[in-house]
Structure 1
Amino acid sequence: MSLFSRTKGFALACALALPLVFASTPAHAAPALTNDDVKVQVNDKLVVFPDAQPFIDPEQHKLQVPARIIADQLGLKTSWTQNGSDIQIALSNEKTTVSFTLGNPTISINGQASSQTYNTALIDGRAYVPFRLISDAFGMIAQWDGTNRIGIYGTDGKYYAPAWYAPKYEKVIEAKATAYTASPSENGWGARDYMGNPLQLGTIAVDPSVIPLGSKVYIEGYSFDGLPQDGMFATATDVGSAVKGNKIDIFVPVSKSKAYNFGIQQVKIYVLK
């Protein structure tokens, strides 16, 4: 199923949960949030936030999410206790329990202090935690799409494209696709693309006479464990001596031997406006 037919029929996940509200606000409460129009997705479904919204912390420049709503969407249990002005929260599943006090950067995982610190806060009566705290603690894939301003949790070990984004496109190209890695034997300029950016998921090499460098594209039709299921957004920032005509080379963050299994696949490429 194509991106555009699939997106047209997309229905938002509507599991609304009761917000985490407290009777008092501790002295370490953060300033009121601003509306940054950011979104959060769990696998291929958007999270609906009925009141408290995710936002980008203007000081730390990190995505913050309402703890209770996100926990419910991820199937995590939430419990809290209040000791004076301190709010202590625990998020847990069958294997992991994450405990922390709002405003205190130290967290514990299964009773052991974590070496990582995270800025948690109580804002307008809602507990907020960093997007990365949950993915790091519970072993989920976390993606941040800065172009579309959306954070994506992959709970099943897979990568996902933004489910809400249905762009218009200039043309569709039927092409052959191969895969490459950051192996020195495959990269004349190290683990970077032709434009000097670090190789990462979403980097593709193209023939600039067919797909201009800098183009945003959506690719579907491939099958490979290690790339987003069904399709992926990518940017044409690399070239290759063997990439000529209707052919692309997709960077894959795996070993060279595993990338070899990609072979040559027929794909469809939407060149986006």
Structure 2
Amino acid sequence: MKRFVKGLVLSSALLLSAVTPFMSVEAAPIREIGYKVQVNDALVDFPDSQPYLDDAHVLQAPVRFVSDKLGYEAHWENAGNELKVTLTNKKNTISFTTGDSSAVLNGKPITLQSVPKIVNGRVYFSVRALADVLGIQMQWDSSNQIAIYGADGKYHAPAWYATKFEKVIEGKATAYTAAPEENGGFASVDYFGNSLQVGTIAVDPNVIPLGSKVYVEGYNYDGLPAGGMYATASDTGGAVKGNKIDIFVPDPKAKAQQFGIQQVKIYVLE
């Protein structure tokens, strides 16, 4: 990779400090802000149906994914046009039917605060009602829109923090190193004179402005944080055009070439 080095004009200490790359850390993928459920320290994964707030402002979630995370086995049977669901673990057995506020907990009838329902083929149950029925403490984090079940009897911090971003780019990524031939014959520094490090990426400034903070996911390379990483757009390159980025890797050139060309998703953060 060759860079167009114009950094002398922009070499003031203030500007350099503004674009110094993040210290890259392993992080959960960025997600658009939505309602989430957490059990102890782990988020519940909803692969095809998401929690939502109903007309009564009650948070509803697909019960199967939540009950699995809580260690319950789920059994299903048809009940006319509705579904009867039984959740069982070593301590509790609860049976309920969609469309009905009546349920049975450990052989005793109870009345549910919110009626379970079928939405897009999934059985939804009030997150708060499920916690109350199963005797689990629940806390609500309004800033991050997460319902947190303390199934172990403890309080837990959110496992996900809301991150706003200006745009999402579906693009291609390659990798480069500190080798002089990949840096236009210059030392191992970025466009602004900062040392190259994990968290440095080269961009097309017409697509991602220099100095932008981004989150990159979708790559597969053992020299970078698994799952995704935060980075700073602080470098450019003659071959970096359009929706393409070049990711610095602290490895020999021979290993970096194994990166190849990969499809990635780039979140440009506010």
Pick the TM interval, shorter chain: 0.3 to 0.5
Which entry has the higher C-alpha Rg, 1 or 2? 2
**Structure ranking higher on relative contact order (CA contacts 8 Å, 6+ apart):** 2
Q: TM-score, normalised by structure 1?
A: 0.47
